[in-house]
Chain A
């Protein structure tokens, strides 16, 4: 058996690194960061988030602050979603796109005020995104990289609101989905948003790095009554995949457009010009050649990232695949020729040289019940 390799020492660490070790986490290299992949086990952590509450260190994420009288106009040109529709204290999902209309990154835009926005980007893309934003931002606007000023703890699961109500003041549990406010957690100044990457109700707590360990310990202690457990990137991946949330570097990258990724809803063609708009208009007019769809295996096996797919309409590729803890069977996402993307279409995944049958299914694989 080929054993997984221990992470080398040159990796970046979050302010919670020592606590992860103390909690017995298995650490891995994730986009240049030494992060916990699991503590007790992926299946158990996954279940905790679906049924109770789980705590994730996502301090590796990048945060940019966009300020100035021209901040709104600049962001309208930098991102495809319509930033003018955001009210103070609200968030939307968006992207940076190349001139070809493909993803530089996917990201969240927080509107703090008409002249101040927070952008949250993927860890491994932070330097690239920052250079790209600086290069493309026009007008009376400033883009600053504040990634090192924030640690980020995600509190996810049906019991997350009960947990937040006990530790935060003012209580953020009345926040709407994709809303945020500044609040205090155990006296520490935090920004709390009702967001997440798990398909469950949940919160993301931005705090100063020096407060991160104290807050994480407090969440664990107070959350004990709610069944809270620390969760690693392994469970984060199975949770996001069940909810069909795209992962940069797996499902989307600078070869994939939002139309292809089934993320057309973040593109507002009517709002005015933005980077990538012309290419997206051209692709829409010409016809979108491939689409990201969910699949299940018909034959045994797990179709994983990078495995070739063969459809009646030509070749495709698996972008993500795992064993779904909730469904108890293999699931995945694949980029397939558009003609082969109707639900129930069968295709083949090449699993280490063996052709295994798979079938296109509706997504998301898992949708939480409304409270």
Chain B
């Protein structure tokens, strides 16, 4: 056993977490090597001092304060004060709903006030023309459900995303695995000899694109991977049927493809893929695994030394019992080495080949522009057209209402006249 191995085992030795053979070897070494012995004593002293640090007492008010805070928290929660507190809130929401409902029925379709109007405004903006909404009020309701459907779907998925994001936030503190950034900064501050060896960094990234010619792009991405000396790890294509607002439906493809690219080419490949379509989102991140990597590598070295020693020992073994014992130990060491070597291999592969997830979504050729974020002017234009439309439709409704109310008005007029006459006659008599 050389000094390096001894020093790496010292800590386990102090914790008595060491196998028999190593223990004997280590003790033998310590007896003969005064440097290591000194180091060992120092380490032991360090650990002992830490052990001896006394527990400090809780502050007297700790428990009281804590329970006070929790009680407060608990009383803010539902149950007890539900009837007292939450009614205001509920009433407020209800009031908003009532106002919204009234507004909805009395202001038929002022843009922005309700989703229905919005979807109509969008439709007009997309070039269905005011004519549809204007001349065919009967047709509009038919189109609406479809539009609303797709809208609702979108909102649903949005809220799903929100929920998962919030979930992440909430769990962040609970799951010990600190987010990658933190690990990276942690690693950066390590004042160990880290700087002298090559950093092991795993890079990965993802891109989401909207494209018009799905199959072509899928192929050229796969091609790009091969050109750059990488390969396609997996790919997946899905046909989805998209219900349009006008009742038509067409098939659009979505798919994703996972690429493995040489780390050096990663950046340029990302740039190239970004030019292939409309980038919806993109991210890259890197994890520094240097510490784990070199730790594992050292442990493999140590274990290999141990393995060789065991092999030597086995040739000197005197009896079956000894052989079995050593073989057992040898097995353990062997399997540990193998486990860690696979780790190293996996890491090597991850470090040398970055992973890139590409998400592709097909969209119809003509729609590429309408997907763009509308400018202030187009928004204003849409709003203007929408308002005009809704005024026209409002006028129309008013007209329909008045016309359909004519029978009532006649009856009302007749009754009024009769009433007036009767009243006048009585008044005269008096």
Bound pair (A, B) = no
Which positions in B face A, CB cutoff 8 Å?
none
Which positions in A face B, CB cutoff 8 Å?
none
